[in-house]
Structure 1
Amino acid sequence: MHISSLRIRNFRNFLSSNFEFKKGVNTILGENGSGKTNALFALRLLLDESLPRSITNLRDSDFCRNLGNWKGHWIVISVDFDELSPHEGCQMLKHDAGHMDGSEKGTLTYYFRPCLKIRQALFEANGNAALAQQTIDEISIEDYEPVFSGRANADFLCDDTYRDLVGDFQNFVFPDPDNKDFKAYGVKLSPLHEEVSFTFVKALRDVVADLKSYRNSPLIALLKGLEADISEKDSENITTLVSDINNAISELDEIRQVSSGIQDTLHKTVGYTFSPIIDIESSLPSELDKLLQKLSLTVGDNYVDGYSGDLNELSLGGANLIYVALKLLEYERKQEADKAAQFLVIEEPEAHIHTHIQKTLFESHTINKTQVFLSTHSAHISSVAKISEVNILGLNENIVEVFQPSNNLNSTECSRIERYLNATRSTLLFAKGVMLVEGEAELILIPALVKKVLGLSLDELGISLISMDSAFFEHISNLFHPDRIRKNCAIITDLDVSIEPLPDDEADDNNYQNLCRNSQKSGVIRKGKLDEHTKDNDYISAFYANHTFEVDFVGADNSIEIKEVLPSIYQQKASIDKSIGLLEDSEVRIYGKEILRLADKVGKGWLSLLTSEKVTSQTHIPSYILDAIAFSCGYKLAPKILYKMCCYRLSNPMPVLEDEDKPIQFFTDNNLNIDSCIDEFEKQCPDDDLSYLIRLLDR
């Protein structure tokens, strides 16, 4: 049995969200503040016995802020189970939560809803908007009740269903609470904590105390019942040895002297009548089951032979690692009859586990009977997670969306994407937007351009820049789709239009023209494939350099940056002067050929690295790159970000304006009106790169 989905309505930052899970290890990815902890807590509300009973009485702050007025609304959290087999461990869970359609599916639901009195009052106010609103306004959190139910088949994520079963808050129409639709709401029951094993390992947790605790240690749980597997002969030998050890210790003269000393002191203090009889004895239990519980873990070092120390000597990360490993082993060794299922929930394992161990801990461990849930923002964990077992949280204007990146992808596509992520440790799953480029030149220079020209990094804009072979573009961009990750992905590549005029007749080409023509043909084919790939998907789009990245960079009036790099390439002044003359030429066939020659001479990546050191606020960003940035941001940037960019531009040299022409005074006089400042910047600096970007955005 395993959890197949988690559905959350109106809880914290989840307005209406669905998580899909598989057997084995499931990963919840998300940036800070996206709701990973809230998702795990929703799961715990239903299944975690360690939570205090009172925790199910939520607070008004637990309602989703996007609701506006929370009063009268319900919080609904449901887990769906699959493979509820009839074996002994699942029988009670199947009876309470299993659907009655003969399938092996079941549902457990938690409702936090107004009590019957309030629901009845809302129903009686139907058709009377004023009375209904008054009833809603008078609701307090004390009027709410937590309810658990099994077998509910209503999908409260559906707005129509929510209106029918909870209420229509716009038209003030509410259902009759006496009409108990057990099929929709489910059958009321007590929490099913006893039917499953559930362990939560929170972030930054110090587990040393748990490892030493008789009640909480997974080692103790593993040792329980082990005496039955030990032969009778070995058991008798151990019992005899322990008894002999106890006697030997107790009869030591030094021990007897301490015992006599205590007894004599008591006699002198309270007299013989009131003095208890005192003795000191070794009390190692001779019963094998009790003796096994006395065993403890010691830790050694791979680099120091023969040394073994106490758990307190471990780092927090080492202790966490041992705890997780023991817990996995404990669950794997449990008999199926004990519990219907075992769940291990680990919050941000990267908090105290080394990155290499993060990658291998769950990749290498074969998990048969335990379903594991991880929350993480670690690229090392996400890179080995199967995308079919990943849920991605995305923040979109304070609304959390949950994405399943493998939806409607075949297994071959999934495998290719997983291999790529494993090889690159890519951060593309975490970004608000993505730009795919095909070379190290773009990967090095574009971030420098954005930072120096706009004053903010791509990271600050929430954009991940990912370099890959163009052959991967279609495969990786498949992740971004209405059915999968609903974030924008821009593909940046070259059209390779020939910089050299070409004869009408291909047969008249010289060798150089033939090379240019073949590149141009490849560019046409590339564009055709990408345009076809992106045409029906609003979440991906391709942006093209007319020629190549290097040629279009110089063509954007950036020859000065390349000229400043030349002393790092040539030592002879004559070579530098010759190259400068070619780069300053106005014809693309001249400056284009020269920049491509320089890139070929030192390597595209190295040339970009040298150029990135010369980029300033007066450098121009090629327009197609600005187009890609705007698309990756979803054509939306917060006004505060745009305002910060405007201030940066005005406080640094600009290529098209002298200081006396800048609207600096307007910004000083209107610094509380951000939008008007942005508008004024665009008006006074119409030819600036930032103004071009602003015009692309939806404001």
Structure 2
Amino acid sequence: MYLKYVQIVNFKNLKNVRFEFSKGANTIIGENDSGKSNALTAIRILLDDNYYYNTKRLKETDFSYALGDWKGHWIIISAFFDEISNEDKHNEFCAEITPEQENIDFLKSYIRCTDNDFGTVSLFIRPCRTKRIELAEAAQNGTFESVRSQIKLSDYEFYYTARSQADFTDENIYKSIVGDICAGQYVNPEDDDQSVLGCKIDIMNVWQHISTVFIDALRDVESELRKPKNPIRQIIDTIEGDIKENDIDDIKKKISELNAKIANIPQVSDIGKQVNRKLLEMIGAIYSPEIKLESRLKEDFATLARYLTISPSNQADIDLLGLGHLNILYIAMKLVEFEVNRNRELLNIMIIEEPEAHIHTHIQKTLFNNLQVAHTYTQVVMSTHSTHLSEVSDIEKVNVMKKVDEQTSLVMKPTNGLDRFGTDVLECKGISFAKILSRYLDAKRSVLLFSKGVILVEGDGEEILIPALTKKVLGVSLDEMGIGLINIGSVGFENVACIFDESRLQRKCSIVTDLDVVVEGAKKSNQTAMDRGASRRKKLSQLFGENPYVSAFYAPHTLEVDFVSEESNKDFVCSVIRNTYKDAAVIERHVSTIKSGTEAERYDSVMTVANNIKKGWYATLLAETIDARAVIPMYILDAIVFAAKDILSEKLLWKMVQYSFEQYLPDSDFDDLKAEFKEAKSSKEIQTTIKKFCAEFPEDMVSLFIAKAGGLNV
């Protein structure tokens, strides 16, 4: 058996979320304050006997921030264990948590890998029965809010059940067991539905069969190893019964001899004599006890285990090891402890917060890969900020957390329904599309999973030039916006864009690609490329036309051509030509064509230059040449706006406006506006100044960006 799902309702910023885990090593990733630590804490509250949590530790801040008034609401944490085999069911605990009959409607929303049985364990942190009756009666006589306002944390109970078959993240299910508190309705405990809540259990029985250990991000390994219940001691306690009796007797005999030898050392025995002499002097021979100083080292093996420690073979003390090695050592010992105990527990769960702490990049990856092999006896759930760990994580074992607002977060599973999409839509027959995508994204994973918005491009030119244009024209980088740019290296956008969807990653994804429309008279332009562009547009429209998270943006021709089509950009292209070519006649011909040639001539000229220099290097030179006067082609600006749609803030727009306004400072006509820029402090003043800037400079790239983004409604 293993932990497959965890439902969390109304706990801190986790209003109603569900995590999905697999055997082996699982990761939870997300931005700061998205709730990764809260998720691990919730799992520990339910399953970790070393994190005993009760009403004395319960705090008001434990309730969902989105509830407003927490009083009367429930916190629910529910674990779903899958693949309970017939062998497992011989254990009374497994029989206790396995439903007698499966609820098909409940299982429809769950992805199950086998036909084996499943079991559930749930915790309801709720008002005690007396208070719930009072609330239900108050809801009937119109005094609900008055009674509710008097509820205290001490009125709450921790109620554990098994065999529940309910999706508690469903608002309707929650209302059916609690009531619609906003409407002044509350469910009487006399009407509790046991088929939903499950059967009451003793949580101690769960803790006896599921071993859960938590390894903190801010761990002091040296201190942990000195504690009485350190991993070494735990291992010794388990294996003590396997030690040969002759070995234990031999140790006891030697300890007895050692005690005698210590006591017989003249200097030691003399201390006892001196104490006896003082006693005689103080109280006389009649009342003075006869004492002696002796050694009493314990002879039992369990006590001796306290003196066992780990030390590096080439150094005198463990203190000499660095923090990284100490972290790895501690995790290794916990795995050994789990392996030794695996015949005792049905499941070992290791919860690790930021395992990358103090560990070198390559060791992080090696550690993670090797944690995977422990899946036969240990399931690992870890939170991480490490892009290196995300790169080697199996994308099917990743949960991505996203802040919806300051009060709530949601959990996204990148591979939900992906195999079905691959089979039904992309026609990948007989293979797992999720596994193919996982391998393909090994080098791109960190950008895809950690970014708040994504732009997919088809080549090196876009990958190099778009970030430079954003920074130099808008005054903020794509990184500041939280946008990741991925070079697909082809036009197979659908293979990556499919991961952005209501049921998978709920993040905006812009696709930037070329239409290659034929320019009459241009030798470098051809019908075949245009046909491919039209076909690509049709395909992307069919695949993602109804998807609110994916949108495609098309260059009328191609990046190099559409960039130079903007009058302000011609000088930058000419500068690259002058700095790259040596032949004066060639330079003059290209510069003249770029500045005053026909559309067809300009097309051929810029494509000749880009191909001669090589497109990637041409984009690099252009990126170094451009400044704030450059114009971002409209299709690229639209793509940036779409990817940033859920990210933009007043603070970010204000920075962009300030940066752009600095380009107009030499003009004395804007003295009044300059003064407003300096004085603007409050949100209202900043918004007023931004509006005046956009009105004064409507053609400015920042003004256009703000207009396309929907103004100040961010």
Provide the TM-score with structure 1 as the length reference.
0.88
Please list, as runs of the form range in 1=range in 2, the aligned pairs for 1:434-583 lying within 5 A after superposition.
Answer: 434-499=454-519, 501=521, 512=523, 516-556=526-566, 557-571=568-582, 573-583=584-594
**How far does residue 419 in structure 1 lie from its aligned partner after superposition?**
1.1
Give the Cα–Cα distance (whole angstroms) in 2 for the partners of residues 4 and 591 of structure 1.
Answer: 60
CA offsets 1:568-615 (integer angstroms, 9 cap, x no match): 413455544443223213533233333322322332222222222222
Please list, as runs of the form range in 1=range in 2, the aligned pairs for 1:574-593 lying within 5 A after superposition.
Answer: 574-585=585-596, 587-593=598-604
Q: Are 1:100 and 2:108 matched, yes or no?
A: no
**How far does residue 696 in structure 1 lie from its aligned partner after superposition?**
2.0
Q: Are 1:368 and 2:368 matched, yes or no?
A: no
CA offsets 1:22-61 (integer angstroms, 9 cap, x no match): 2222111111111000000110110111124446742111
Give the Cα–Cα distance (whole angstroms) in 2 for the partners of residues 140 and 587 of structure 1.
Answer: 79
Mind listing any 5+ residue stretches in structure 1 that lack a counterpart? 301-306, 503-511
Give the Cα–Cα distance (whole angstroms) in 1 for the partners of residues 335 and 200 of structure 2.
Answer: 33
Contact 1:394–1:401 (CA under 8 A) maintained in structure 2:
yes
What letter corresponds to residue 359 of structure 1 in structure 2? K
User: What residue is the counterpart of 1:388 in the other structure?
Assistant: 396
**How far does residue 252 in structure 1 lie from its aligned partner after superposition?**
9.2
CA offsets 1:120-145 (integer angstroms, 9 cap, x no match): 2221233555x222223333333333
Q: Secondary structure at the match of 1:139?
A: coil
What is the identity percentage for the equivalent residue pairs of Structure 1 and Structure 2? 35
Report the count of equivalent residues: 673
Give the Cα–Cα distance (whole angstroms) in 2 for the partners of residues 55 and 155 of structure 1.
Answer: 25
Indicate which of 327, 340, 352 corresponds to 2:334. Answer: 327
CA offsets 1:525-571 (integer angstroms, 9 cap, x no match): 33233223322322111111111112212222312222333454134
Give the Cα–Cα distance (whole angstroms) in 2 for the partners of residues 676 and 74 of structure 1.
Answer: 44
What letter corresponds to residue 587 of structure 1 in structure 2? T
User: What residue is the counterpart of 2:171 in the other structure?
Assistant: 159
What letter corresponds to residue 470 of structure 2 in structure 1? V
Q: Are 1:213 and 2:221 matched, yes or no?
A: no
Give the Cα–Cα distance (whole angstroms) in 2 for the partners of residues 54 and 249 of structure 1.
Answer: 46
User: What residue is the counterpart of 2:612 in the other structure?
Assistant: 601
Q: Secondary structure at the match of 2:418?
A: coil
Q: Which has the higher helix share?
A: 2
Indicate which of 690, 693, 697 corresponds to 2:705. Answer: 693
User: What residue is the counterpart of 1:2 in the other structure?
Assistant: 2
Change (3 A) 1:501 1:210: same
Contact 1:106–1:151 (CA under 8 A) maintained in structure 2:
yes
Contact 1:347–1:375 (CA under 8 A) maintained in structure 2:
yes
Contact 1:90–1:339 (CA under 8 A) maintained in structure 2:
no
Indicate which of 212, 216, 223 corresponds to 1:198. Answer: 212
Indicate which of 186, 192, 196 corresponds to 1:174. Answer: 186
What letter corresponds to residue 634 of structure 2 in structure 1? S
User: What residue is the counterpart of 2:324 in the other structure?
Assistant: 317
Q: Secondary structure at the match of 2:607?
A: helix
CA offsets 1:415-447 (integer angstroms, 9 cap, x no match): 222112323453211111111112222222211
Please list, as runs of the form range in 1=range in 2, the aligned pairs for 1:111-190 lying within 5 A after superposition.
Answer: 111-126=124-139, 129=142, 131-190=143-202
CA offsets 1:69-93 (integer angstroms, 9 cap, x no match): 2222221111112233454787343
Q: Secondary structure at the match of 1:343?
A: strand
Provide the TM-score with structure 2 as the length reference.
0.86
Give the Cα–Cα distance (whole angstroms) in 1 for the partners of residues 415 and 56 of structure 2.
Answer: 33
User: What residue is the counterpart of 2:364 in the other structure?
Assistant: 358
Q: Secondary structure at the match of 1:327?
A: helix
**How far does residue 176 in structure 1 lie from its aligned partner after superposition?**
1.7
**How far does residue 64 in structure 1 lie from its aligned partner after superposition?**
1.5
Give the Cα–Cα distance (whole angstroms) in 2 for the partners of residues 415 and 405 of structure 1.
Answer: 12
User: What residue is the counterpart of 1:222 in the other structure?
Assistant: 235
Q: Secondary structure at the match of 2:402?
A: strand
User: What residue is the counterpart of 1:15 in the other structure?
Assistant: 15
- Of the structure 1 ranges 242-251 and 11-20, higher mean CA displacement relative to structure 2 is found in 242-251
Contact 2:452–2:647 (CA under 8 A) maintained in structure 1:
no
What letter corresponds to residue 404 of structure 1 in structure 2? K
CA offsets 1:151-189 (integer angstroms, 9 cap, x no match): 222322111122221111333222222223222222333
Contact 2:177–2:193 (CA under 8 A) maintained in structure 1:
no
Contact 2:11–2:64 (CA under 8 A) maintained in structure 1:
yes
Contact 1:98–1:104 (CA under 8 A) maintained in structure 2:
yes
Change (3 A) 1:251 1:339: closer
User: What residue is the counterpart of 2:38 in the other structure?
Assistant: 38
Q: Secondary structure at the match of 1:560?
A: helix
Give the Cα–Cα distance (whole angstroms) in 1 for the partners of residues 603 and 161 of structure 2.
Answer: 70
Contact 1:492–1:542 (CA under 8 A) maintained in structure 2:
yes
Contact 2:455–2:486 (CA under 8 A) maintained in structure 1:
yes
Change (3 A) 1:107 1:245: closer
Please list, as runs of the form range in 1=range in 2, the aligned pairs for 1:541-690 lying within 5 A after superposition.
Answer: 541-556=551-566, 557-571=568-582, 573-585=584-596, 587-634=598-645, 637-653=648-664, 660=670, 663-667=673-677, 671-672=681-682, 673=684, 674-690=686-702
Contact 1:99–1:151 (CA under 8 A) maintained in structure 2:
yes
What letter corresponds to residue 621 of structure 2 in structure 1? L
CA offsets 1:659-689 (integer angstroms, 9 cap, x no match): 6399445545665313333333322221121
What letter corresponds to residue 34 of structure 1 in structure 2? S
CA offsets 1:251-285 (integer angstroms, 9 cap, x no match): 599x824324434543554459546212458x595
Give the Cα–Cα distance (whole angstroms) in 1 for the partners of residues 258 and 62 of structure 2.
Answer: 62
Contact 1:617–1:653 (CA under 8 A) maintained in structure 2:
no
Change (3 A) 1:420 1:270: farther
Give the Cα–Cα distance (whole angstroms) in 2 for the partners of residues 197 and 108 of structure 1.
Answer: 14
Indicate which of 306, 325, 346 corresponds to 1:340. Answer: 346
User: What residue is the counterpart of 2:113 in the other structure?
Assistant: none
**How far does residue 250 in structure 1 lie from its aligned partner after superposition?**
6.7
Change (3 A) 1:115 1:629: same
Change (3 A) 1:484 1:53: closer
Contact 1:662–1:684 (CA under 8 A) maintained in structure 2:
no
Give the Cα–Cα distance (whole angstroms) in 2 for the partners of residues 614 and 55 of structure 1.
Answer: 64
Change (3 A) 1:88 1:618: closer
Mind listing any 5+ residue stretches in structure 2 that lack a counterpart? 103-115, 420-430
Give the Cα–Cα distance (whole angstroms) in 2 for the partners of residues 23 and 356 of structure 1.
Answer: 23
What letter corresponds to residue 40 of structure 2 in structure 1? L
- Of the structure 1 ranges 22-31 and 518-527, higher mean CA displacement relative to structure 2 is found in 518-527
Give the Cα–Cα distance (whole angstroms) in 2 for the partners of residues 251 and 138 of structure 1.
Answer: 70
Give the Cα–Cα distance (whole angstroms) in 1 for the partners of residues 133 and 480 of structure 2.
Answer: 50
Change (3 A) 1:436 1:658: farther
What letter corresponds to residue 123 of structure 1 in structure 2? A
Change (3 A) 1:27 1:353: same
What letter corresponds to residue 315 of structure 1 in structure 2? G
Give the Cα–Cα distance (whole angstroms) in 2 for the partners of residues 659 and 205 of structure 1.
Answer: 60
Contact 1:443–1:465 (CA under 8 A) maintained in structure 2:
yes
Contact 1:618–1:653 (CA under 8 A) maintained in structure 2:
no
**How far does residue 694 in structure 1 lie from its aligned partner after superposition?**
1.7
- Of the structure 1 ranges 458-467 and 359-368, higher mean CA displacement relative to structure 2 is found in 359-368
What letter corresponds to residue 544 of structure 1 in structure 2? Y
What letter corresponds to residue 405 of structure 2 in structure 1? E
